[in-house]
Amino acid sequence: MIKKENYFLIFSLLFVRTVSVSSFGYSKRQQHMWSQEFKKCDGNLQSPIALSTKKSVRLPLPALEMNGYHDFLFQPLSPFIFGGLLNINQEYELEGLHFHWGRKNDRGSEHSLNGVRYPMEMHIIHRNMAYPKMENAMVNVDGLAVLGIFFQLQDNDNENLKPLSQNLPSIRWIDNQISLNTSITLSSLLPNDIDTFYTYRGSLTTPPCSEAVTWIIFSTPVPISFRQMNQFRILSNGEDILADNYRKLQKLGKRKVYLRKLIQNYSSYYNQFDVNVTSLDWYWQ
């Protein structure tokens, strides 16, 4: 995890905190056992899920607004987001980010999209500023907002990822840490198209699996080279490489998935159709 207190200074294996906690693992058997210690992991609003364009409810939702995402991460104020289907007049402040990836190129992302599982997925976690601490946010259904970003393989390096990927060999072992000598912005880690996204109510994908997350998942992936992807796969917890750190897909149940997607001449449609987001229901009756 890149924590907000020091994300501008330290880049370490803490940013993959979800794969280094000793109390749980990612094998099929270990995931099955999560709910014995963390009861919420067996809940009805769990994540990740299989996203489907055909099964989503497409609406002209408000845009997701990002404040501070273009600023270098050493600025005194934390970036925050609002808009979309997040609570009206509430802002969600950056808490950290982490990655999930696979040993092979055909797996690694936590969510799937139209049957595709990408090799890596990044989560940028935000806390509803109505709650003073993460502990408070995690026990409220509107406590957290997480941006999900897929990564898609290509031949050439993604220059925007180099401040992270080029330092991975220096933090090969868990709990190693280094100081970044390169400035980085959150916007540089996002896909080109942030106007199209899926959103639904779910949970953290690691124990304690708190059902407090409004997920916002962009459909356009971020490019990453084969070489950069393999740099993640050299990381180790001291016993084995860190990979396949993704949770199995969970049942959608009665939850709705909304899709914000702009199409040609959509601007005129927007003018005619004003969505009252407060009236939208997250669940099928």
- pLDDT tens for 99-117 read 999 999 999 999 999 999 9
Q: Taking 70 as the threshold, does the pLDDT of residue 15 lie above it?
A: no
Q: Decide if 279 is inside a domain.
A: no
Q: What is the pLDDT of residue 183?
A: 75
Residues contacting residue 148 through CB under 8 Å, at least 6 positions apart: 110, 111, 121, 122, 123, 215, 216, 217, 218
The distance between the two most distant Cα atoms of the chain, rounded to a whole number of Å, is 59
Q: Any idea what DSSP says for residue 31?
A: H
Binning pLDDT at 50, 70 and 90, where does residue 4 land? very low
Q: Decide if 76 is inside a domain.
A: yes
Q: Taking 60 as the threshold, does the pLDDT of residue 19 lie above it?
A: no
Q: Which residue has the tokens 């014995």?
A: 36
User: CB atoms < 10 A from the CB of 25, how many?
Assistant: 13
Q: Decide if 44 is inside a domain.
A: yes
Secondary structure percentages of the chain, helix, strand, coil, to 5: 20, 25, 55
User: CB atoms < 10 A from the CB of 267, how many?
Assistant: 10
Q: Determine the 3-state secondary structure of 198 from DSSP.
A: strand
Q: Decide if 280 is inside a domain.
A: no
Average pLDDT over residues 58-62: 94
Q: Decide if 282 is inside a domain.
A: no
Q: Taking 90 as the threshold, does the pLDDT of residue 6 lie above it?
A: no
Q: Taking 90 as the threshold, does the pLDDT of residue 158 lie above it?
A: yes
Q: What is the pLDDT of residue 173?
A: 61
Q: How far apart are CA 126 and CA 94, in angstroms?
A: 4
Q: Decide if 1 is inside a domain.
A: no
Q: Taking 50 as the threshold, does the pLDDT of residue 208 lie above it?
A: yes
Q: What is the mean pLDDT of the chain?
A: 87
Domain count, the chain: 1
Output the six-digit token pair for 217.
């998942």
Give the bridge partners for 153, in sequence order.
Answer: 224
Q: Decide if 161 is inside a domain.
A: yes
User: CB atoms < 10 A from the CB of 240, how many?
Assistant: 8
Output the six-digit token pair for 39.
């009861």
Q: How far apart are CA 107 and CA 116, in angstroms?
A: 9
What is the CATH number for 59?
A: 3.10.200.10
Q: Decide if 266 is inside a domain.
A: yes
C-alpha atoms less than 13 angstroms from C-alpha of 85 in its C-beta half-sphere: 29
Domain containing 144: what range? 10-272
Q: What is the pLDDT of residue 179?
A: 64
Residues contacting residue 98 through CB under 8 Å, at least 6 positions apart: 1, 2, 15, 16, 17, 18, 122, 123, 125
